[in-house]
Amino acid sequence: MATFSLERTAPLPLDEAWRRLTRWERHGDTVPLTRVFAEPPGPSGPGTVVVARTGAGPLAFDDRMEVTVWRPPLDDAPGLCRLEKRGRVVRGWAEIEVRPGPGGRARVEWREELDVRLLPAAFDGALGRSGRYVFGRTVNHLLRQP
C-alpha cells in the first residue's frame, strides 16, 4: 500500500477551488489514456461514483471510486471530499481538503492511499512517488483552469 499527500495554495476563493477540484471529468486531462466520468452525472454528493478509465482496448481498467464524504466549504469553513476506491485493480482512498490559506487564498491538501492489485509491496515507494507526481500535475492543472 502506497500513501502520499501534496499541498497547494491557489489565489482562489474556497468555493472556486472546490468547484475546480471536483469537476471529475477534468481529472483525466493530464493523465495519459485516461477518461473520467461520474455516475450519475450532475452535482456530486455522497454515493456519487467516479470512474477513471485508463488504458486502451483490452489493456484498460477502471478505477471506481465512491464519494463517501461530501462537505463543500462554507464561508471560511474547510471543505472535505473523501473517495473510497472500490475497483478490481485499484483499492484505497483519496481525500481532497480545501481550507482558508494566507491572504484570502485557498489551501488544498490531497491525501491518498493506493493499493494496486498484484503489485508487490516492493513497488510501494515508486507507486507513491509516481502518484504524487501525477496527482500534483492534475491538481496544478485543475486549479489553473476556470
Query: How does pLDDT run across 85-110, given as a tens digit for each residue?
Result: 998 889 999 999 999 999 999 999 99
Opening angle at CA 21, ends 15 and 25, nearest 5? 130
Please say if the pLDDT value at position 41 is more than 90: no
DSSP assignment letter at 118: T
DSSP 34-102: EEEEEES-SS--TT-EEEEEESSGGG-EEEEEEEEEEE--BTTB-EEEEEEEE-SSEEEEEEEEEEE-G
Q: What's the pTM?
A: 0.92
Please say if the pLDDT value at position 140 is more than 90: yes
Q: Which three cell numbers stand for residue 56?
A: 486502451
Per-residue pLDDT, averaged over 131-135, amounts to: 93
At residue 9, what is the residue type?
Answer: T
